[in-house]
Structure 1
């Protein structure tokens, strides 16, 4: 819940003694502060680059004024603000409870009565917002804090007067996908009135009742489409509550109730005192956090002495990307210590991220020795070392470690690198804890990871808020590289690009491709009618892989036969029979390894031994073990190399065998390359770079590694594929993956 102050953070601001950090993002930092009278406050401080924008100051002033105009007890009140300060700030009363998003993630969906009470109070809050002539426009679980006496609506950062259209662009989608109204999803700015907030409230309440957004999750475009066209998923919601939610979720704004009318309706629906409205496990979280706040000690004044590095301006925070030069800094003041009630219930001491590393490290020693004095130059590795992706995570950790050890062995090194490794177990919640620890460690200059898509998507905003470079070699979703993410680098083609070669095989055939692909069962073709199977168990991954193949083969004049199966399907016999009856003479499976194995067995049982393809998720021992002989002949495309079969990686492979006693696993060589790339950029920097400067330098670098050439689009961090591509093929033969080398690249004139 609360993080330590960084050495560059101020110790006080506008009469508030700062006790810690509540969060950091692309806009700035939110601090926990205390007045001389002992009242706690959440203080949002904006970073310098936004403060210099006159339009942003207009918006920030509007936020403060908007929040002050609302008098509901269920809206967090503003206690102070200065939009004209060098670093604009806004303070609100501090609520120690979790957000609704945190509570549902940790404790599961709320009981029906809790949801109805929540609905009544939030409807009352929105009624006051709308009476004040405002539209909130971002009603979501993260903007609702839970307290024993009721919820609190927060964050008027994008609220506006109902008739104000001057600042927001007419074609900009504003708000949070999954909790947007149809008019927001279609960027119909002129229609964004109070009914839009009511629709978002309906989405929020459905999430509270079920633990999932009513229009699903995944790619933003898909979410927006479902919001506009699909019916909400209210499965599992009791009949009385469902009757309240459906009118709120009407597509036509005119068909929705007003917030005031909804509040009155729920008064009749929920008689009695709302006391005890939350389940015990949520109340326990509130109590623990409240107790932690009571345990906060007084803080003695901290003097900003020249060169001490113990204090700085509010703008000089990790949120701005600026780092104070704290070389030679003395220890933090002895009284600047406070208790942190973490989401797991662990109590940690302040003083940076060091206190959490023992919990985040693996079983063995994962920290390379660092220089005895001065600031460390640390590269972090956030990986799944003990969860479902541990094979990939441990391979990357070894590749990174080998690169650091070789760098430190050089006599001409200008500094010593330290490797700090943290295990996120492939878990989204733990991934956030790891990311925040790396962000708060001022000596971490860049981070490699995470291993898989969901943790990566969960933490990219955390790293982005601190402009800490985050480079992933194995997460594949294209959602990671957007213009909104300022510090992420994708060191591989994304999932859409990684399946391009499959379309070439289907339309040209292996003999036309040549090389290793000219022989082998999987390389025959071309296909007259490819069968494409999308397994919804894999959600966005299945859509990205099979969807791209579908578009590419259609562009080459083929008419594929696509099928979609529900999540959890393992009995593929009927769908195989249907696809064969439709004339499918080749198959592409889009999904995870377990489903690919089940589909392979169904094809084998039907007697099919023709071309069978799958994207990278099947490149695992899980597929080989579960499919058995049915895996023989499958061709799988991926963005990782088999270093043992790549001549340019022979030196790396030999060094890996010597150091770890085994051949390198998938993505070990890519991790080795990325750490060497970071080290090379650091060597050429003029002194120790800030995180922001390092991010910019990495996005503009070109690095020839042992696996491929690495280059990026500076604006997004997207991977720029070298000539010849960066996707590779593997054929399952004799129970193992045979590396076929670079896969064919689809032509641009298709």
Structure 2
């Protein structure tokens, strides 16, 4: 718990704010009190969601649905305002540590407590499913241990950030918590009630062992294990092991329902204190901190009292927030109130705040505005059009010469089938391919769909599955679509299947990057890059090793000689495609930056990269060194592209596309 800062609101809707409980990727959470004195956890949405109209619509829908759930095992949503400048919601305040905090500090649960946990989770899911909801993100940080049992939080709320259906982000990173997702979620399918049961089994394993049943290695490795490996159930007490084994069946139809789970458990012994003593001590300490806050006394380690101020009133005098964090570290050890920290981190650890990027050092040639956030920028071959994926599940096209939108957006579908994960122009520029619900082809002039190509869901099952990336070979002969664990290839002209590359397991981060002649195809594989022979479908040569983090982006230069790869280790590496050897030393950016998008100039001499950190970087490919100064754009870079003449670089941040003179950038 932290004191309110000078910029923190003193009032959110009808709730007076008292302290900050947590923050992270989805936003921050404040402790508040209502007009009737009731305590609530007020959750403020992160800034990058504020301007996303699609998020607001999903947020509104999910809050409305979530308020229908008010069982004894849920922390109910009682108020919300999706239309506020900063959308917010308020849920019932429930003191108690999240399960992941309790296990980390008090140790794993024994058999009796684990069965009590299983019964409580099953009962909560009965209520959630009865209301027509699917939780989708049941995990240890979304389960609170309380004096009277447990509460499940955030059902349906995280889905507002995801969109409809379980998705893969533009970088190929799975949205959510991979170690607790079901196989059907890992395949990109829409989860049902049975998915929550699978997650329940994973949570049980964590409660008894301190780790999930598949949580070993990187996210792609975990997802592969979720899809194909037997769960690790060693260390579970016998009655709990059989429950977990039943929940973790790969086939959704083979899993018990929550009601059947309750029947198998057969009831638990009533207890006034349901959890181990150490957990109840954590609950008491947390409640004590809130009591001291409400009575004006400082929590342990805080050198001054927290006195909430009225709207517009200056905060109380006292040491700075930085000094509080240094002096009052003990207070930060208290578990999240009402799941606040769990909601704030939403699927992982809270991300470090980045310093604001520098303002642009020069003026762009032109600026194109959009009414929705954009990502994944592409020039048409003649340079006349720019295409980008819109945040409303459309493809937006812009007339470069006229500096304005061109025609109607392309909409990939409806509901969860509307997701668009990748785009590519064919060699003529007359056809645009989209990845999402398979691969779809569109006539650029009329915006009409001309074909729908099926990407098999796995190498062993030919049922339709999602596509996560799409790309044409530079010679225009081939089209590839990346699925869950394979890349399907078609003849670009006849659209007949022309090959299939088995990626050897779930690899949702896969990309489609052909070499110039279309003979080879390059794609990430965890921390490595693999090159495949298109004709045989087999790997060509050894994996390219060198990155220490998962590879985000791969791209082959127009002449087919150089491969560029970017990874979560904040490096970009260059490789000789023919020899498979690294070219020079890694190209580095600061540790707060991850390059997610790459683009080669048409002559292959310049490489552009952008992502987090708010700047575009340029490198001389032959000299393997930066050229010019990074161009600060004031926000996360979600796409970069060169025009066909190599004179203009296009960048996109949020709703703004900017066109830059490349010669001026390289001399800056």
TM-score, structure 2 normalization: 0.50
Q: Give the deviation of 1:551 after TM superposition.
A: 8.5
**Matched pairs, number:** 395
Instruction: Work out the CA distance in 2 between the residues paired with 1:697 and 1:139.
Output: 31
1:41 paired with 2:77, answer no
**Cα distance in 2, alignment partners of residues 169 and 92 from structure 1:** 24
Q: Per-residue CA shift, 1:317-369, capped at 9, x if unaligned?
A: xxxxxxxxxxxxxxx325xx8xxxxxxxxxxxx84131233689xxxxxxxxx
Larger radius of gyration: 1
CA distance, structure 2, for counterparts of residue 53 and residue 359 of structure 1: 36
Post-superposition offset of 1:715: 3.5
1:620 alignment counterpart: none
Paired position in structure 1 for 2:322? 353
Residue in 1 that maps onto 2:189: 188
1:287 partnered with 2:284: yes
Q: Residue 104 of structure 2 contacts residue 210 of structure 2 at CA under 8 Å; is this kept in 1?
A: yes
Aligned counterpart in structure 1 of residue 316 of structure 2, from 325, 328, 333: 333
Alignment check: 8 A CA contact 1:145 1:153 kept:
yes
1:106-125 superposed matches below 5 A: 106-125=105-124
- 1:128 counterpart residue number: 127
Structure 1 alignment gaps of length 5 or more = 311-331, 338-349, 361-428, 433-456, 471-481, 484-542, 563-587, 592-636, 642-666, 676-693, 719-750
Gaps of at least 5 residues in structure 2 are 169-173, 297-306, 337-346, 359-374, 377-524, 549-581, 593-609, 641-668
Q: What residue number does 2:97 align with?
A: 98
Quote the Cα distance in structure 2 between the aligned partners of 1:275 and 1:559. Answer: 64
Matches within 5 A, 1:130-209: 130-158=129-157, 168=164, 172=168, 175-189=176-190, 192-209=191-208
**Deviating runs (4+, > 4 A) in structure 1?**
158-161, 169-174, 466-470, 547-552, 554-560, 588-591, 637-641, 694-698, 701-704, 710-714
8 Å CA contact 1:96, 1:293 repeated in 2: no
Q: CA deviation at 1:302?
A: 3.1
Q: Distance in 2 between matches of 1:469 and 1:589?
A: 28
Query: Conserved in 2, the CA contact under 8 Å of 1:467 and 1:695?
Result: no
Tell me the CA shift for residue 76 of structure 1.
0.2
The whole-number CA distance in structure 2 between the counterparts of 1:559 and 1:46 is 47
Contact 2:59 2:157 in 1 (8 A): no
Q: Distance in 1 between matches of 2:58 and 2:288?
A: 36
Q: 2:351 aligns with which of 455, 462, 472?
A: 462
Q: Which has the higher helix share?
A: 1
Q: Alpha carbons of 1:28 and 1:293: their partners in 2 closer, same or farther (altered >3 Å)?
A: same
Question: Is the Cα contact below 8 Å between 1:21 and 1:31 reproduced in 2?
Answer: yes
Partners of 1:266 and 1:557 in 2: CA distance: 49
* Match in the other structure for 2:414: none
Q: Is the 2:177–2:348 contact (alpha carbons within 8 Å) kept by the matching residues of 1? A: no
TM-score (norm 1): 0.45
Residue aligned with 1:700, SS: strand
Q: What SS does structure 2 have at the residue aligned with 1:294?
A: helix
Give distance in 2, aligned partners of 1:198 and 1:5. Answer: 39
Provide the C-alpha distance between the structure 2 equivalents of 1:105 and 1:143, rounded to a whole number of angstroms: 15
Deviation of 1:708 (Å):
6.0
Q: Alignment partner for residue 278 of structure 1, among 275, 278, 282?
A: 275
Distance, in Å, in 1 between the alignment partners of 2:226 and 2:616 is 38
Distance 2:180 2:308 in 1: 44
Q: Which whole-Å CA distance do the structure 2 matches of 1:639 and 1:94 have between them?
A: 56
Following TM superposition, by how much is the alpha carbon of 1:254 offset from its aligned partner in structure 2, in angstroms? 0.8
Structure 2 match to 1:608 = none
| Equivalent residue number for residue 238 of structure 1 | 237
Counterpart secondary structure, 1:283:
helix
Secondary structure at the aligned position of 2:78 is classed as strand
1:304 shift after superposition: 2.0
Partner of 1:26: 25
Cα shift at 1:697: 7.0
Alignment of 1:252-651 (within 5 A): 252-268=251-267, 270=268, 272-296=269-293, 297=295, 299=307, 301-302=309-310, 304=312, 310=314, 332-334=315-317, 351-357=320-326, 461-463=350-352
Q: Is 1:699–1:717's contact at 8 Å kept on the other side of the alignment?
A: no
Specify whether residues 175 and 589 from structure 1 end up closer, same or farther in structure 2 by C-alpha distance, changes over 3 A only: closer
Counterparts of 2:547 and 2:611, CA distance in 1: 34
Within the alignment, does 1:250 sit opposite 2:249 as a pair? yes
Relative to its length, the structure with more strand (as a share) is 2
- In structure 2, C-alpha distance between the alignment counterparts of 1:118 and 1:135, rounded to whole Å: 19
SS of residue paired to 2:246: helix
> Deviation at 1:245?
1.1
With over 3 angstroms needed to count, the CA separation of the structure-2 counterparts of 1:717 and 1:96, relative to structure 1, is: farther
